[in-house]
């Protein structure tokens, strides 16, 4: 990363890549950095209710592309696809994760969250994984990697391909290098955001 690049520059220049250069692969040392960064994502009461599957294998990427609707070519052409999953239900979270967390965390979970019921718990677990998405998109951009967050996938199809007991797919992120012709680059498609006065309040 250019040492003079500040976070504002990253926010202004990162964008959702729509077309990848299928011949350019991300170096393994960058992939290893991204794995470590995503592992360090923050979460409420440090619950870490996630699994991040880094897919590089072309055969598996092709299988996932079949369940990727209009995102299919991004999944095929990107260097890697990272699938973000959450525990499939509250019981899986309790059985597989709770004992690995601190006593305070488990106590808080049992006292405050558990009584709110399974739907509330699943929403809460899912929110933590979405938070890690924001972290990941910023991290990729800071490393000069292009990315595409993708909710437009068939999650159950991804689950069938990945076969990860206890987890279910929420969304995926294609990562790699843009095709020069990608029309979504900010110089051809300027970034659209609402003005500050509509979304920021200072008191």
Ligand X SMILES: Cc1cc2nc3c(=O)[nH]c(=O)nc-3n(C[C@H](O)[C@H](O)[C@H](O)COP(=O)(O)O)c2cc1C
In the complex, the residues that contact ligand X under the rule CB under 6 A are 15-16, 18, 71, 148-152, 171, 191
Closest to ligand X by CB, 97 or 122? 122
Nearest distance, CB of residue 18 and ligand X, angstroms: 6
Closest to ligand X by CB, 63 or 105? 63
End-to-end CA distance of the chain: 36
Q: How far is residue 26's CA from residue 35's CA, in Å, rounded to a whole number?
A: 13
Closest to ligand X by CB, 109 or 179? 179
Nearest distance, CB of residue 203 and ligand X, angstroms: 28
Nearest distance, CB of residue 151 and ligand X, angstroms: 4
Closest to ligand X by CB, 95 or 123? 123
Residue for token digits 């470590």? Answer: 36
Closest to ligand X by CB, 35 or 191? 191
53: nearest Cα among 83, 23, 76: 83
Contact 176, 24 (CB under 8 A): yes
Contact 84, 129 (CB under 8 A): yes
Report the SS3 class of residue 167. strand
Nearest distance, CB of residue 15 and ligand X, angstroms: 4
Closest to ligand X by CB, 198 or 203? 198
Nearest distance, CB of residue 47 and ligand X, angstroms: 20
Nearest distance, CB of residue 73 and ligand X, angstroms: 11
Query: CA 75, 77, 79 angle in degrees (round to 5)?
Result: 85
- Ranked by CB distance to ligand X, the top (closest) residue is 152
* Residue spans of beta strands (DSSP E) within the chain: 50-55, 80-87, 146-150, 167-176
Contact 90, 115 (CB under 8 A): no
74: nearest Cα among 3, 148, 9: 148
């Amino acid at each position: 990363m250019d040492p003079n690049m500040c976070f504002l520059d990253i926010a202004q220049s990162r964008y959702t890549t729509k077309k990848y250069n299928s011949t350019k692969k991300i170096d393994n040392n960058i992939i290893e950095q991204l794995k470590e960064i995503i592992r360090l994502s923050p979460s409420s009461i440090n619950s870490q209710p996630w699994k991040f599957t880094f897919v590089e294998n072309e055969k598996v990427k092709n299988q996932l592309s079949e369940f990727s609707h209009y995102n299919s070519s991004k999944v095929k052409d990107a260097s890697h696809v990272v699938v973000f999953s959450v525990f499939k239900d509250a019981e899986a979270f309790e059985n597989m994760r709770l004992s690995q967390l601190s006593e305070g965390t488990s106590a808080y979970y049992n006292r405050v969250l558990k009584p709110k019921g399974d739907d509330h718990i699943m929403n809460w677990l899912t929110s933590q994984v979405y938070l890690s998405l924001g972290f990941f998109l910023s991290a990729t951009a800071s490393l000069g990697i292009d990315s595409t967050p993708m909710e437009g996938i068939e999650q159950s199809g991804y689950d069938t391909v990945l076969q990860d007991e206890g987890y279910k797919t929420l969304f995926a992120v294609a990562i790699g290098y843009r095709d020069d012709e990608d029309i979504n680059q900010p110089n051809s498609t300027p970034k659209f955001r609402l003005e500050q006065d509509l979304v920021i309040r200072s008191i």
